Amino acid sequence: MNFFSPIIIRDDRRSRPYAYVFKILLIMKLICMLVVLFTLGAQASGYAQNVNISMKNAKIEHVLKEISKQTKLRFFYDEKLLEQTDLVDVSVSKSDVRTVLNRALKGQNLAFEIMGGTIVITERNKTDIEISGTVRDSIGVMRGVTVSVLGVSGLSTKTDADGRFSLRVPENGILLFRFLGYKDQEVQVANQKVINIRMESAESHLDEVIVVGYGTQKRVNLSGAVDQISEKFLDSRPITNVGTGLQGAMANLNITPTSGRANSSPGINVRGYTSLSGGGPLIVIDGVPATNDELNRMNPIDISSVTVLKDAASAAIYGSRAAFGVVLVTTKTGTTKEIKVAANSIFAAKAITRTVDIEDNPYEVMKYRNIMGAPWYNLYDERMLEYGKALNDDPSLPRVIVDPKNPNAYIYLGSTDWFKEVYKDIQPSYTNNINISQKNEKSSFYLSGEYYRQNGMLRISPDTYDRYNFRAKGDYKLTDWFTLSNNTTYTADKYDQPSAIDQGYLYWHNVNRQPSLNTVSNPDGTYTEAGVSMIGAVADGGRSVRRVNDFQSSFGAKIDLLKNVWTLNGDATFRRVSGKSHYFVVPLEFSTGPGVIKRQAFNSSASNGSDETRYNVYNVYSQYQQTLKDHYFSLMVGFNQEERIYESFSASRDQLIANSLPTIGLATGETPSVGASDYAWSVRGAFARINYSYKERYIFESNLRYDGSSRFPKKDRFAFNPSVSGAWVISKENFFAPLSASVSNLKLRGSYGSLANQDLRDNYYPYIANMGKGTSIVLDGKRPAYVTSPGLVSPTLTWETVTQSNFGVDIGLFGNQFFGSFDLYQRMTKDMLTAGRTLPIVLGTGVPLENAADLKTKGWELTLGFNKEFMVGSKPLSFATRFNLADSRAYIEKFSNPKNNLNDYYVGQEIGEMWGLTTLGFFQSAAEIEAHADQNDVTSYPGTRGLEPGDLKFADINGDGKINNGDWTLANHGDYKVIGNSRQRYNYGLDLTSAWNGIDLRIFLQGVGKRNYYPPGGDHYFWGIYAQPWASLTKFNLDHWTPDNPNGYLPRPKSYVAEQSGIELAATQTKYLQNAGYLRVKNITVGYTFPKSLTDRWGVDRVRLFASGENLFEFTKLMDYLDPEIVGDRTAYPFQRTYSLGLNFNF
């Protein structure tokens, strides 16, 4: 026992005996009353006394002594009670003793009671036995293992460097041993005094529950090609778009960004090229199919897991919708008995990844424009060139002057970087979301809300995107055998942009080619012609606003016909998506000379549009499963029906009365335009899944579906989609036991399946002939309507058939701390819908679609992972990594192209192959030109300007003395050969995460190992002034051939050599073929979780502060101006880097 006090005790010697008994009794009564009063007063005064304490990582005993020192209260306790307590942080100012003790003893197995001037410390839960022991794993003793008493808070300790522990526990207590990466172990104490434990790896990778079609399975029991990521992959990274967040996450899940717009949706592909008719994976969110746009409108924080069903055997349960894989998204549910609240607030700044470096020296630009204009025109005479030189010496000289030859016209000699005029360096975005969840024996719920706002990259009047998300998800057990559920979501978003950037590619195209000599405004403040189209139109030329409201509610029921054996499930989903758009444009004034005011050459107009999607899904399925000794059986059968109806309407009218009220109702145009578009389709199918396993060693699965689609004629409307898969877990064989310590898992998998494909892009009625319509020429003052004769339709039109075989191996090493998988696959897409045989021109109509082509896609994929926890400075350091790498190639196996014309597909062709010329360099002399093969066929305007030194020199591969493409057939392709391929190969991702002492770090790398790109003719972003003489002159353009620089990158300056396809620079060739492979640092996130002792004082369970960067930088051999992720489209909205700062709260 320990008993300490700063109070000095003195004996009272003044007592004296009383003679009379009644006096003694009276005194005893008085003493009792005084004792009671003194005790109550002392207890009150003990509670009321205030203390000031600031101690970190302190022992409980030291805290008690400090309290005693400040209050003169005494403490009474058993020293052994404090031996196994945790260190505490206590920081209080003028707090009463009870508050301080409650805080200091929180989470410990200690209680206190104030009795007069003494505070007694006792056990909260009585312990009777002292247990000791050692904890080991397969390698050796384990330090830092948490040993606690199950169900008793405060009774815990950790093993020391030798793996030993000692802990007092209650009689009949249960010890819980826990360490990250290992399975929890529970041990009944009973009469034991020494307990030694051998920890086993958690095998989390194998025990992971994988979402599959209409159910879940443990990874260890899978026989198909399935991959999954959990919420941790998305939660630790501030993403706002689900699709882009999945880029690089899993092998052969190929995500292709299409634009930097806030509301854009990236392309999603599984396992490479699919079909000439198009087609992508089926996206399913909580059991309900969704479009790519619907996926990317959802709140990323709601996601619990994303699973990809890659092979036909796994996807066959979804039938004809899933011929090219399935992406299953599962949202979160309530998981804890206590109400759990999580909130996140993120601020981000966005900046454009790559822009063009412009040459803005007026004299240099004028000089090059003159060179490029030859021999047709001379844009600047010597006088103007001299003025351009003078601008270099005196920048204060006017940049806009009156044309000496025309007093009503300006000449522009600016140094305008149009990329800086149009784009802002930094634009903000904001994200705030919250979710609340709980689960108990009868019910569970999950509620979430999100608001996201992003400003676009325009400097003036930027586009803005606002998104609101709400989700309410829950289930309730009416009885032990009957459960009802509902999952309701609502999304509202609004994209508001200048109408100038909502006109297709033209605006971005003009940004890329606008010359630096043009200025934004004239000396009198009016817009220039360039300024009004690039800046004025954005600021004042009109807006385009698109609003989308997306509501979905799913109702479900589950009946346990036999508990844990036979279940019946049913659900019905109703989705309603409505969109409204309003667009208006007004012409603006500009000036081309002093006092010369013009207006843009179009009428003001306004338009409205509305569209609605109604989508209904119904599922009923039942599963029977049972385990008989070592045999596991499962049978599931079900029915599915879906219907999607789309209707849209649009109307427009020009000549607005007032630009301030840009509505159709206030327009006066005599010929308003109206339009409508509708489509509908439905599918209906029955499905089944059969599972069998023996000792989890031999695994068999078959998925079957009989599907019907409205997209085909009645006689060919239904198709059967069978599949089968099997696995052999070699590591569970007895003969494998000697290797089990190092090879903890080894499984071989194989599968085969055949699926029909009904995804024909936007061709909803391929079996119905189309008839053209319109109005004819004026007859008798009228324009009569006409309808053309219908086209041809194949009488045998039916499904495409997709078969896929897969072989895979899974491996785990050292308790699955290392894990990996490798798959080889081949997919055959047969009877693709494409133009059939060549028909005579006199037919008078297009060639009908037929099931006339076959395609073969083959590839492989590799996934490796490692998870481990180490002790660093007496605290656990966790480290995890996951790497994936995949490749695929596709070849035409059948196609009607008798002459093997290279303008069309041909048998044996690899999809994406690039035919080009072989560049030998530049001609260095006239004699070299004379001695070389004739290049007139690939030379621009050979009759006007002949070849000169500095022009491109191509190899005469076939030796016929001419450089050309022959007949452009496989048999005679002249001097062309396959020089590259435009498809992405060797896609990879590397995810590195680590955490220690509240600090977490994540580095995510993503890239493409091999891809070729050739900038086409007219690509001003790449070629600049080589495409057109009035295009922008870039720094890149200055590295060209001259007699003094014979090894320059570009040929001698000559206009239009990058304008006409197949001519000079616009002819695909080896010299300018770009290596578009890249490694991008996709994300780096650093976070800090505040200590629990601190957050407890704030009344918060967890607070994490983080900083994050997205698309931070890249390594690539591409030209500096090109972003490797959107390299194929330089007219797209610019791609961006993102820098974020955020807070995560848990209550």
**Alpha-carbon span 555 to 308, nearest angstrom:** 25
Helix (H) or strand (E) holding 594: none
CA contacts within 13 A on the Cβ side of 28: 8
Asked whether the beta carbons of 558 and 571 are under 8 A apart, the reply is no
Per-residue pLDDT, 206: 57
Given CA atoms 305, 239, 180, 732 in this order, what sign does their dihedral have?
Answer: positive
Residue where the block lists tokens 């001379």: 378
Residue 481 and residue 998 in contact, taking contact as beta carbons nearer than 8 Å: no
Q: What is the pLDDT of residue 43?
A: 43
Question: How far is Cα 754 from Cα 368, in angstroms, rounded to an integer?
Answer: 61
Half-sphere exposure of 209 (CA within 13 A, CB side): 6
Q: Helix or strand or coil: residue 87? A: coil
HEC sequence for 190-226: CCCCECCEECCECCHHHHCEEEECCEEEEHHHCCCCE
Per-residue confidence (pLDDT) for residue 741, from 0 to 100: 85
**Nearest to 89, CA basis, from 1103, 1094, 1100, 1099:** 1094
What does the pLDDT read at residue 98?
81
For 950: left if phi > 0, alpha if psi spans -120 to 50, otherwise beta; the answer is left
- Count of beta carbons in the 10 Å neighbourhood of residue 391: 19
Mean pLDDT per 10-residue section of the chain, whose length is 1147 residues: 40 40 45 42 54 82 82 76 75 81 78 78 73 83 85 80 86 84 82 87 62 81 88 85 92 91 92 91 95 94 94 92 93 90 95 90 94 87 92 91 92 94 95 95 95 95 96 96 97 96 81 91 96 95 96 97 94 97 96 95 95 97 94 96 96 92 91 91 95 94 94 87 96 92 93 89 76 73 78 81 96 91 97 78 74 95 91 83 97 94 95 97 96 95 92 97 96 97 96 93 96 92 88 93 96 93 96 96 95 84 94 93 81 88 92
> What is the structure's pLDDT at 29?
46
User: Whole-prediction pTM value?
Assistant: 0.83
Chain centroid, CA 1023 distance in Å: 32
- Integer Cα distance of 1001 and 1003 in angstroms: 7
User: What is residue 845's predicted lDDT score, i.e. its pLDDT?
Assistant: 73
Give the pLDDT confidence score for residue 259 in this predicted structure: 87
pLDDT at 14: 37
915 vs 1091: CA distance, rounded Å: 61
Domains of the chain by range and CATH?
2-121 (3.55.50.30), 129-200 (2.60.40.1120), 229-332 (2.170.130.10), 362-415 (no CATH), 427-478+492-916+984-1014+1068-1146 (2.40.170.20)
Distance CA 762, CA 44 (A): 81
Distance CA 1044, CA 729 (A): 69
The pLDDT score that the predictor gives to residue 412 is 95
Cis peptide before 795 (omega within 30 of 0): no
* Coil, helix or strand at residue 127: coil
